[in-house]
Amino acid sequence: MSQDKQKLLHAYRKMREIRTFEERLHKENTTGEIPGFIHLYSGEEAIAVGVCEHLSDQDYIGSTHRGHGHCIAKGCDIRGMMAEIFGKETGLCRGKGGSMHIADLSKGMLGANAIVGGAPPLVIGASLTAKTLGTGGVGVSFTGDGGSNQGLVFEAMNMAVVLKLPTIFVFENNGYGEGTGHDYAVGSRDIAGRAAGFGMPSVKVDGTDFFAVHEAVGEAIRRAREGGGPSAIEAIAYRWHGHFEGDPMLYRADGEVERLRAEKDPLKIFRAQLGKQIADAEFDAIDAEVEALVDEAVAKARADSYPPVENLLTDVYVSY
Amino acid sequence: MSQDKQKLLHAYRKMREIRTFEERLHKENTTGEIPGFIHLYSGEEAIAVGVCEHLSDQDYIGSTHRGHGHCIAKGCDIRGMMAEIFGKETGLCRGKGGSMHIADLSKGMLGANAIVGGAPPLVIGASLTAKTLGTGGVGVSFTGDGGSNQGLVFEAMNMAVVLKLPTIFVFENNGYGEGTGHDYAVGSRDIAGRAAGFGMPSVKVDGTDFFAVHEAVGEAIRRAREGGGPSAIEAIAYRWHGHFEGDPMLYRADGEVERLRAEKDPLKIFRAQLGKQIADAEFDAIDAEVEALVDEAVAKARADSYPPVENLLTDVYVSY
Amino acid sequence: MAIRTYREAVREALAQEMEHDPRVVLIGEDLCGGQAGSSPLEKNKEALGGVLGVTKGLWTQFGSSRVIDTPITESAIVGMAAGAAVTGLRPVAELMFMDFFGVCHDMLYNQAAKFRYMFGGRAKTPLVIRGMIGAGYSAAAQHSQSPYNIFATTPGLKVVVPSTPYDIKGLLIQSIRDDDPVVFCEHKALYDIKGEVPEESYTIPFGVANYTREGTDVTIIALAAMVHKANAVADKLAKEGISVEVVDPRTISPLDEEGILESVSSTGRVVIVDESAARFGFAHDVAALIASQAFHFLKAPIVMVTPPHTPVPFSPPLEQAWIPSVDRIEAAVRQVMEA
Amino acid sequence: MAIRTYREAVREALAQEMEHDPRVVLIGEDLCGGQAGSSPLEKNKEALGGVLGVTKGLWTQFGSSRVIDTPITESAIVGMAAGAAVTGLRPVAELMFMDFFGVCHDMLYNQAAKFRYMFGGRAKTPLVIRGMIGAGYSAAAQHSQSPYNIFATTPGLKVVVPSTPYDIKGLLIQSIRDDDPVVFCEHKALYDIKGEVPEESYTIPFGVANYTREGTDVTIIALAAMVHKANAVADKLAKEGISVEVVDPRTISPLDEEGILESVSSTGRVVIVDESAARFGFAHDVAALIASQAFHFLKAPIVMVTPPHTPVPFSPPLEQAWIPSVDRIEAAVRQVMEA
Ligand SMILES: Cc1ncc(C[n+]2csc(CCOP(=O)(O)OP(=O)(O)O)c2C)c(N)n1
Ligand SMILES: Cc1ncc(C[n+]2csc(CCOP(=O)(O)OP(=O)(O)O)c2C)c(N)n1
Ligand SMILES: [Mg+2]
Ligand SMILES: [Mg+2]
């Protein structure tokens, strides 16, 4: 297989992993076995994967409350993630973090974050480390359209310009923050357009099109690695599920979700784009492998045990 | 006297009051009788006065640590201010606030503020009151070039656009935040330029030119009063003294202050602009009156008594 | 009297005060939700009514100028509310989860709390900040905290932590009418509990504790969800002849110091139950009060039942071990009885 | 040993650690000042060296990649420092006045403090946040506070409050080498006090109290500037035959509980002096510890000497009345002696 094709199939596999993971959670969540809040990423896969296909473990990302897709794209172990979401000791955070705090620093994943706007200031820190130690790494923050209004984000953007940090600010515009339209909450109705005011370049891309994201981010990352400083990218995609599982979605137009699933499915779009190069059977084989992987992850997560109560008192400080 | 001329002389008087007040503080501060930090506004008079000449007591302003000029321009009593700065019971805040917290709500002065970036969120609140109660009032926030980087400011700007609030964000670019150049701290090197990203109009004006400020702000206030929403104004002026009294100003170029005093004096510029209409003697008469007023304010502040110790325990809540 | 949930009691208080006083406005994220899209489809919809359903129906009733949906921008929310309060409105701002105060703490800590003092008494700041506190839902470390201790340490703020539908309605109306800034903490484990609540408007004064159980052997001091656990322990031990008094201060700033000291002086044995913190918490504040003011009445060491000094863990068995439990409270009572 | 001021001791600790470990970087506003202008005139100047002069000379010595001047943007400063700490640097961020934590509290409270726990122990966050605390300079309500109680209530943070040049150097080096986030509180009234300080690098462990006076009648527990006042009272009363022990915990999280309890168990009389708060302060935390753990040793009610429950006033006579004074401490000691 050509290297290019391998890369394409890898990207597809990652997107499929996210999709299958999320749709399975949507189902499993109804059994009552999953504690806490779940925010699903279905419909936005091309953003996380379009970004992370450029990154290695030396590069760091910072994520949001809707973090599963970013984690998977950045290489977090799917079994460990599923176990974490089930609250089990085998989870990536040993059951202490849960869906909104999955992290794996060894993979360059700085954590989902339940504080909206929390990631960008942290990510510029990872970028500062890269710059100071000369690792060649970059930092990428993911922020929603709703989160784009948080002061933390603007501060991080200005700081990144001032210090010429290798940071990419990715804004995932999925139309809503909870039930509030981005066209209400973003005064200018143009998230990418804010970047110029802070002195950094930006582009707006179709976030359901893997190639559009991949190309735009590639350019930004190249610039960052070369010392050219930060960039912003607004990627427009759609959230298929509720804000959280259980949201009755009264703010949706009739038939909105069905239409999105039919017309704005990043995986379908990807397959259509590559229909000539890659046979359906190859994609389907990946789908089946991923299905099996997620099956196994769920079965294992379900079977694994909860952390022992003694663990309550560990990991507060390095000393205990 | 024509109404126009009266207005011009009023503006000049206010600018002179600020100048005389500040230069006197500069002198008095060396006697050790003034407690705490003092930040002087000399050199920036045309901004405060250019703005506040448009405002009535129904309109609110929010200020900074460098607030004396804004207070005077908004009509705060000079004796009460001086007494406050000396820590006396007759002070506008009964000696409890000091230089960095002078306020007079009855004059629409929401307070100096020792938290950089603190005022804009408060000012949009005053604007919300005006809008909700239909008073026709506006809110004006003053923020420095350094303060323009604080997340609070950006949040207030976005909120003002979203809620179409009657707010004017005035940025006083005096070149430095403490010892740090604005050309370092503002990533884009263009404060006014940020406004577009938030969806509001902005202009950049010469902040040593009363007429330039007055006209630009007039336009913004008219728009705000008519329901057209917020605007931003960047006014460029110069700080003649140190960041605070006692600052050795090592960051200054040789002769910088002398040059500013010679070439960038808002009062000299104003007089020059009106040289044909208004005789020097008229200006000089005002100068003398103001001198006497400030003399009296200092004498009174010096003679007044400190608050009694019982006052320590009052004014925490409405009930005590 | 009607039977209402704690959630309904909040909504009723808000609605009645909004009717009563046109200066009362609500400010927060997704208070309505649907108003917040500009597409024609969304324009006339109230989609969320608040993440908690607490404000449901209020936008429909009072419209966008009284129920103000905002972007995600807590510093501007609290700052705007504080600025509006000193200039003539009586805003009620919602922080959703109180844990979010970190991104806007200055607007409370250095601004709203201090206006009146810094301005020499020449300001009134009738502001209410509402938000959820409490663990128990696997909402993890950033959505489960009860930081009322951090608010109450700040002079100038008042802090309310109600435990019943009756109390929450009366205290919220009082908070809105109060001329000082109030941080109003709603415990998420209590939203669905029911109780008798007068339909008409009423207020409960600040600084007056409620004795939810009267007793002579031991005083338990508790807040919000912990009051119900304390009551359960009191009821259980009553059968064994141990007479437990449960004191619910309801507001922690101001605090009914007299009410607490009176109970302690009669029982001489104290257990304080507190979900806020293992250090510098409500339990410590009250223990210090008692150790300095009622020392000579004490027959036994004060026992504090608090969470451990750890963030709130996600996994249910860990989280359950984190929250002060009925068992730990019972054990504490037995401990002070034996001492 | 050399004679150094508290300020010089801070600078020496920073310089030595920066030499010792290339991962140590300083981040803050005007740490240098002059580097921060782009005009040729400013380019090579260190104008401020920090508002306090603490970092003076460090930029000249270590350059812009190690001494990082920032815009006024505390959330980005603390957030960046936290993010850098979990990814391999050992940042020391300066908040100038600790009062400013309100604009960036989330980055400490919900982020840096919780990484390790939320991530199941798989993170280290070697971060130091330095800043000034303390009243006494008419810096008024927003520049005079000592909010160490608010930091120390948060699990995951360590909190240091040193009182002498010797302690501040050793504790700062320890803080920088420590793998947990540390909030490091420098009292502005102490910057110019002098003391013996070893020229070489050394550390002082956290959680070990210092007995600045030994005594048998009364224990005073105090921090930072209050330690010196407590010492003065101890010296004065010694002449009257009242033997006062002064315990300076130096770090309040972790706290040397054993050291405190041991002293209390020998004296049985306790005065706690605390500049943080009238409620929910350090005094209350320690009083609660004693009332629950050393109750049977107590011979008298615990007395707390704290500021009143008010913001810090500007006017000098009011401010002097606000700060716990030598007179009030002395009166408190006499009070516990008489009880
Ligand atoms: C500081 C803070 N404010 C509010 C919330 C509650 N909240 C969680 S997600 C969310 C909406 C986020 O919208 P967006 O950034 O567009 O991300 P999306 O959910 O669409 O992925 C809100 C308001 C929070 N978690 N943190
Ligand atoms: C939140 C906060 N950060 C830092 C400071 C310290 N500080 C006071 S004034 C100042 C510089 C402000 O610069 P600028 O906004 O340009 O106003 P100027 O002094 O030039 O009028 C700084 C950093 C503060 N008071 N508050
Ligand atoms: Mg969104
Ligand atoms: Mg400036």
pLDDT digits (tens, 9 = 90+) for B61-111: 999 999 999 999 999 999 999 999 999 999 999 999 999 999 999 999 999
Tell whether pTM > 0.90.
Answer: yes
The token duo for A109 is 């994943």
Whole-angstrom distance, CA of residue C83 vs CA of residue C91: 10
Size of chain B, expressed as the number of residues it contains: 320
Whether A171 and chain B come into contact, CB under 8 Å, resolves to: no
Quote the pLDDT of residue D41.
Answer: 54
Listed range (B178-182, C170-174, D190-194) with the worst mean pLDDT: B178-182
The answer for D 129-158 residues in CB contact with B (under 8 A) is 137-143
CB A320 within 8 A of CB A314: yes
Name the residue facing D73 among B98, B150, B309 (closest C-beta): B150
CB B123 within 8 A of CB B139: yes
Closest CA to D83 of C153, A128, C105, C275: A128
Whole-angstrom distance, CA of residue B124 vs CA of residue B231: 12
Q: Give the residue with greater pLDDT, C203 vs C43.
A: C203
Listed range (B241-255, C59-73, C204-218) with the worst mean pLDDT: B241-255
CB B79 within 8 A of CB B158: no
Tell me the backbone φ, ψ of residue C74, rounded to 5 degrees.
-60, -35
- Residue written as tokens 């728009």? B223
Record: contact D119-A97, CB cut-off 8 A:
yes
CB C171 within 8 A of CB C201: no
Q: Where are the beta strands (DSSP E) in B119-226?
A: 139-144, 167-173, 176-177, 180-181, 202-206
Confidence grade of residue C139 (pLDDT, cut at 50, 70, 90): very high
Whole-angstrom distance, CA of residue B304 vs CA of residue B298: 10
Tell me if A69 CB under 6 Å of ligand 1. Answer: no
Chain D CB contacts of B187 below 8 Å:
71
Please state the domain extents for chain D. 2-197, 210-338
List pLDDT tens digits, range A201-227: 999 999 999 999 999 999 999 999 999
**Could you report how far apart the first and last alpha carbons of chain A are, in Å?**
50
Quote the pLDDT of residue B163.
Answer: 97
Tell me if B174 CB under 6 Å of ligand 2. Answer: yes
Q: Please determine, for residue D43, whether its predicted confidence score (pLDDT) is greater than 60.
A: no
CB B66 within 8 A of CB B40: yes
Residues A268-292, mean pLDDT to the nearest whole number:
97
To the nearest whole Å, the CA of C246 is away from the closest chain A CA by 29
Chain C CB contacts of B315 below 8 Å:
116-117, 120-121
Quote the pLDDT of residue A2.
Answer: 84
Q: What is the CATH number assigned to the segment(s) D210-338?
A: 3.40.50.920
Kindly report the average pLDDT of chain A as a whole number.
Answer: 97
Confidence grade of residue D36 (pLDDT, cut at 50, 70, 90): low
Whether B162 and chain A come into contact, CB under 8 Å, resolves to: yes
Q: Please determine, for residue D44, whether its predicted confidence score (pLDDT) is greater than 90.
A: no
List pLDDT tens digits, range C299-311: 999 999 999 999 9
Listed range (A135-139, C59-63, C235-239) with the worst mean pLDDT: C59-63
User: Domain C2-197 is of which CATH architecture?
Assistant: 3-Layer(aba) Sandwich (3.40)
List pLDDT tens digits, range B119-143: 999 999 999 999 999 999 999 999 9
* Structure-derived torsion over alpha carbons of residues D323, D326, D330, D335, reported in degrees to the nearest 10: -10
Whole-angstrom distance, CA of residue C65 vs CA of residue C48: 17
Distance from Cα B100 to the centre of ligand 4, integer Å? 16
Q: Ramachandran region of residue D297, left (φ > 0), alpha (ψ -120 to 50) or beta?
A: alpha
Name the residue facing C155 among D140, D149, D311 (closest C-beta): D311
Quote the pLDDT of residue A282.
Answer: 97
CB D283 within 8 A of CB D226: no
Kindly report the average pLDDT of chain C as a whole number.
Answer: 96
- A35 to A87, C96, C100: CA distances (angstroms): 7, 20, 21
Record: contact A118-D80, CB cut-off 8 A:
no
Please state the domain extents for chain B. 3-304
List pLDDT tens digits, range D213-234: 999 999 999 999 999 999 999 9
Whole-angstrom distance, CA of residue B38 vs CA of residue B244: 6
Tell me the backbone φ, ψ of residue C272, rounded to 5 degrees.
-115, 125
CB D319 within 8 A of CB D136: yes
The token duo for A115 is 């504080």
List pLDDT tens digits, range D244-301: 999 999 999 999 999 999 999 999 999 999 999 999 999 999 999 999 999 999 999 9
Quote the pLDDT of residue C37.
Answer: 59
Could you identify the atom of ligand 2 that is nearest to the CA of residue B150? 1
Distance from Cα A117 to the centre of ligand 3, integer Å? 12
| Beta-ladder partners of C303 | C271
Confidence grade of residue C41 (pLDDT, cut at 50, 70, 90): low
Q: Mutation test of ligand 2: which of B38, B99, B101, B116 has the most ligand atoms closer than 8 Å to its C-beta?
A: B116
Chain B CB contacts of C86 below 8 Å:
105, 110, 122, 125-126
Whole-angstrom distance, CA of residue A124 vs CA of residue A111: 14
Residues of D acting as catalytic residues? 143
Distance from Cα B251 to the centre of ligand 2, integer Å? 16
Residues C66-78, mean pLDDT to the nearest whole number:
97
Quote the pLDDT of residue D39.
Answer: 55
List pLDDT tens digits, range A78-104: 999 999 999 999 999 999 999 999 999
Closest CA to B110 of B59, B42, B169: B59
- Residue written as tokens 């462990």? D205
Tell me the backbone φ, ψ of residue C270, rounded to 5 degrees.
-130, 130
By CB neighbour count within 10 A (0-12 exposed, 13-18 middle, 19+ buried), where does C170 fall?
Answer: buried
For A137-205, give the DSSP string: --EEEEEETTGGGSHHHHHHHHHHHHTT--EEEEEEE-SEETTEEHHHHSTTS-HHHHHHHHT--EEEE
Query: What are the b/e assignments for A254-279, b being 16+ CB within 10 Å?
Result: eeebeebeeebbbbebbbeebeeebe
Whether D109 and chain A come into contact, CB under 8 Å, resolves to: no
Q: What is the CATH number assigned to the segment(s) B3-304?
A: 3.40.50.970
CB B193 within 8 A of CB B202: yes
D199 C-beta neighbours (distance < 10 Å), count:
11
Q: Ramachandran region of residue C115, left (φ > 0), alpha (ψ -120 to 50) or beta?
A: alpha
Q: Please determine, for residue D336, whether its predicted confidence score (pLDDT) is greater than 80.
A: yes
Confidence grade of residue C253 (pLDDT, cut at 50, 70, 90): very high
To test the contact with chain B by mutation, choose from A162, A188, A202 the residue with the greatest count of B C-beta atoms within 10 A, namely: A188
List all residues 6 or more positions away from D287 whose beta carbon is below 8 Å from its beta carbon.
Answer: C284, C287, C288, C291, C292, D270, D272, D302, D304
Quote the pLDDT of residue D40.
Answer: 52
Confidence grade of residue D35 (pLDDT, cut at 50, 70, 90): low
The token duo for D194 is 């002098």
Residues of C acting as catalytic residues? 143
| Residue in chain D nearest A81 by alpha carbon | D119
CB D144 within 8 A of CB D134: yes
- For D131, the 3-state DSSP assignment is strand
SS (H, E, C) chain C: CEEEEHHHHHHHHHHHHHHHCCCEEEEECCCCCHHHCCCHHHHCCCCCCCCCCCCCCHHHHHCCCCEEECCCCHHHHHHHHHHHHHCCCEEEEEEEEHHHHHHHHHHHHHHHCCHHHHCCCCCCCCCEEEEEECCCCCCCCCCCCCCHHHHHCCCCCEEECCCCHHHHHHHHHHHHHCCCCEEEEEEHHHCCCEEEECCCCCCCCCCCCEEEECCCCEEEECCCHHHHHHHHHHHHHHCCCCCEEEEECCEEECCCHHHHHHHHHHHCCEEEECCCCCCCCHHHHHHHHHHHHCHHHCCCCCEEECCCCCCCCCCHHHHHHHCCCHHHHHHHHHHHHHC
Q: Please determine, for residue C141, whether its predicted confidence score (pLDDT) is greater than 90.
A: yes
- D272 to A68, C76, D51, D264, D307: CA distances (angstroms): 49, 39, 32, 11, 12
Confidence grade of residue D38 (pLDDT, cut at 50, 70, 90): low
Whole-angstrom distance, CA of residue D73 vs CA of residue A227: 23
The token duo for B294 is 């400030």
By CB neighbour count within 10 A (0-12 exposed, 13-18 middle, 19+ buried), where does B277 fall?
Answer: exposed
The token duo for A169 is 């600010």
- For B272, the 3-state DSSP assignment is helix
Output Rg (C-alpha) for chain A, integer angstroms.
19
Quote the pLDDT of residue A251.
Answer: 85
